[in-house]
Structure 1
Amino acid sequence: MTRLSGASSAARLAHAILLQLHKTNPGDLEDASFPPPEGRVPVELCRFGGRRSVGAARGGCGQTLTEWLRPDEIPPEEQIVASADGAAALKIPAASRAWAIEAGFRIADETSAGRGLGDGPVRLSIASPENDSRIWRNPDAPPALGRIALKALVEPRAAQVVWYVDGAPFAVSDPDKPLFWPLQKGAHEFQLQLPLRRGASKVVRIVVE
């Protein structure tokens, strides 16, 4: 299986078997579209953020997909705001910011650091690792692979967060970029805090075996 992926081996084999079972040649398959669901309408949504696309004429939001939604489920339009240099930027939830940045989208800077130490609450949570996870550490794997990604969700965005591992500071990082922690056997606790101001996430506990 060296240099073989599921798309080039297992999936291709399954595809050939299904074509043979259905006595169908490639290109002979009929249109698999379905009639519109009753009571639902097609809505173009932004891939990052899940809001309605504002359209290319108004800046757009990059990649989109079409979903069939009830009228009461239709989300608000994606927000396009001006960045520091005047260019259009996306204003999206914390859960989608890291993906959007990696894909090359310009993200609105909503940094809360300049608003004063006591201005407004900042919500901190840990997206990875998940609480109560049990992780097996492969002793034969290279050291560079024996690690897990630490991912933060911060709303509104803060310039930096401090990761605590087992009660001690581990690293200061950009909340929209993953940070990697080397696996160590035993039970461990993770928490996010804001530097120089109040704010902390719930503690996430994992066990490494």
Structure 2
Amino acid sequence: MVLENYRTLADKILEPIAVKLRGISPDAVSWLALVFAVLTGYAFYTGKSEFLLLASLFVFLSGFFDALDGALARVSKLASKRGDLLDHVLDRYADIFIIGGLMYSPWVRDWLGFFAIMGVLLLSYMGTQAQAVSGKRDYSGYLGRATRLLILILAPLAHYFLLQFGVVDIFSFTVLEWVMIAFAVVGNIGAVQRAVRAWAQLI
């Protein structure tokens, strides 16, 4: 949850921007967020150190537009279940493109990327599955989407600057691999916790 606790503050910042952009389709903004996620994955995949800076920028832009689409839908009075569905589907594709790009980059061993994708997708799935059985989405845990995006903005920067000083890894893992380990461990633990809570509500 962590950064999700600041959702109200983020809405206050985004609302004036959304008001100025009223008239633009929120769905179009959702797709734009996905485009930047794809670009992020490509930037990681290239394996070029300078592209780590671009990856950080693209993650920021993807996250910004992903947050903006909801604010735009609210101020335009276009919020709908279809829009919410599209947003969540595109978010999962964005997760796959970003982490997949890392998984196939020289910065991350592929098996770490695999378990990271598993953790992230299962965590998100169990959040919506909880809604299916209880009517309320489960945002609990320490690896919400906003938190993941912040980590994915900062980690490539840290990785890049360490490379400038000749530091490739820390305790046998690169900075980005440590991120994958965190996503794998925290994501899968969080998914199990959400599953247990959802199960308890069925008793």
Q: Which has the higher contact order (CA 8 A, sep 6+)?
A: 2
Structure with greater proportional strand content: 1
Structure with greater proportional helix content: 2
TM over 0.5: no
TM-score range normalised by the length of the shorter chain? under 0.3
TM-score normalized by the length of structure 1: 0.23
